[in-house]
Structure 1
Amino acid sequence: MAQDSNRSALRAPKVALSTASVYPEPTSAAFEIAGRLGYDGVEVMVWTDPVSQDVDALRRLSDQHGVPILAVHAPCLLITQRVWSTDPWTKLKRARAAAESLGASTVVVHPPFRWQRAYAREFERGVWRMAQETDVRFAVENMYPWRYRDRELLAYAPNWDPTEDDYRHFTLDLSHTATSRSDTLKMLDTMGDRLAHLHLADGTDSAKDEHLVPGRGDQPCAEVLERLAASGFDGHVVVEVNTRRAMSSQEREADLADALAFTRLHLSTSRLADS
């Protein structure tokens, strides 16, 4: 009975909106939409939008809309290879400094690309070293093999699946588990208490990284949320969906409202069952 009482008293994880979810609208739009829809905060995807790279501009947006910045996604994408330097370690140091300055608890980072050989060799040790220098969590994200027709390219090193290596914190991305055709619940169990961050999106076994609104693919989004709520997960849940095909700003906002409602519903379901 005491255990059930403690569970029901657990505070639900905060739900943030990734600024990538409003693309092609700018970073500033994510703060406005997150505030209007009632998200608990944002995750800033640092990319080619100059505002996403500017700590002072981000702080002003956070203050203006009353929306805290909960996480910073380091510029690890192909299109951001020159953002915040071409040196990957400099990128991580700047992401850490931004997170510390903005009050964010997490830096999301991808495994290195295979052609970043020196970075890949030192990545595991380097992430541990940087994590020991700050209270900010460096959460390494699961990725996926690149596919073209019947061919598969392993683009990441040491691996697209970070659970095969030793990291203190992970980000679990459910669109990426779909694209990699992984057993999502098995990966969740493998990450265990090292799971610090969730990128919530849906997907199918398409070769494309779809980032569908949760509930519109075949990933166990509801079950993952319910498990996290029941376990006392102390990280953040970030809605990271693709709204590029939205025909209007209103349609985009409706998708993001649906994603938030889905997330809150399933984060509360387990807690209600235990109460």
Structure 2
Amino acid sequence: CHDLSRALRLREELAGTPVRLVLDTSHVVAGGGDCVAAARAFGDRLAHVHLRDAVRGDIHRSIGRGEVDFAALIRHLTAVGYEGHYSLELETHDVPEAERPAEAARAGAVVSRLLAEAG
């Protein structure tokens, strides 16, 4: 779902089932949404967070080259006791091919640091 209202309808339709939701940061931001608001709305139905950067209308950005506020999202999820998994999509199409391994390592380091800082 690329917008929060559709995701919330899906959450309601799945009430009472064992099915949980995935929060994909790139799709939230590309659709004009806020990741922290989406995480709040998903609440205890949230099972997985997919970390990838984006700008409105474009989901293909390396971590730090878009508009996703990863620090705010991770702080929020830590504060509410989120125990699900995170995955990092190593999007590197926006950097020259020779720089992609270093960019992937940098993205992993950024996310690891944010998780450590959040506690």
Report the TM-score when normalising by structure 1: 0.37
Find the aligned partners of 2:72 and 2:31 in 1 and give their Cα distance. Answer: 19
Higher RCO (CA 8 Å, separation ≥ 6 residues)? 2
Asked whether the 8 Å contact 2:53–2:59 carries over to 1, the reply is no
Q: 2:108 aligns with which of 242, 246, 260?
A: 260
**Is 1:162 paired with 2:13?**
no
What are the residue-to-residue correspondences of 1:177-216 with 2, within 5 Å? 177-205=28-56, 207-210=57-60, 212-216=61-65
Q: CA deviation at 1:245?
A: 4.5
Unaligned runs of 5+ residues in structure 1 are 1-142, 146-158
Which aligned runs of 4 or more in structure 1 are off by greater than 4 angstroms?
A: none
Counterpart selection for 2:75 from 226, 235, 250 = 226
3-state SS of 2:58 partner: coil
Q: Distance in 1 between matches of 2:88 and 2:44?
A: 21
1:184 aligned partner, one-letter code: C
Provide the TM-score with structure 2 as the length reference: 0.79
Kept in 2, the 8 Å contact 1:225–1:263? The answer is: no
Matched residues, number: 113
Instruction: Please point out which of 25, 32, 53 is paired with 1:174.
Output: 25
Decide whether aligned partners of structure 1 residues 246 and 183 sit closer, same or farther in structure 2, where only a CA change above 3 A counts: closer
Percent identity, please.
28
CA contact (8 A) 1:229 1:268 kept: no
Change (3 A) 1:160 1:244: farther
Which structure would you say has the larger Rg?
1
One-letter identity of the residue aligned with 1:175: S
Q: 1:181 and 1:229 mapped to 2: Cα distance?
A: 24
CA contact (8 A) 1:226 1:268 kept: no
In 1, distance between residues paired with 2:102 and 2:51?
17
CA positional deviation for 1:265: 1.0
Please report how far the alpha carbon of residue 252 of structure 1 lies from its aligned counterpart in structure 2 after TM superposition: 1.6
Give me the whole-angstrom Cα distance separating, in 1, the residues matched to 2:81 and 2:40. 14
Over the residues paired in the alignment, what is the CA RMSD in angstroms?
Answer: 2.2
C-alpha offsets along residues 28-67 of structure 1, whole Å, 9 cap, x if unaligned?
xxxxxxxxxxxxxxxxxxxxxxxxxxxxxxxxxxxxxxxx
Cα deviation, residue 269, structure 1? 1.2
Q: Is the aligned partner of 1:144 residue 2:18?
A: no
The structure-2 alpha-carbon separation of the partners of 1:190 and 1:160, relative to structure 1 and needing over 3 Å to count, comes to closer
Distance 1:189 1:160, change over 3 A: closer
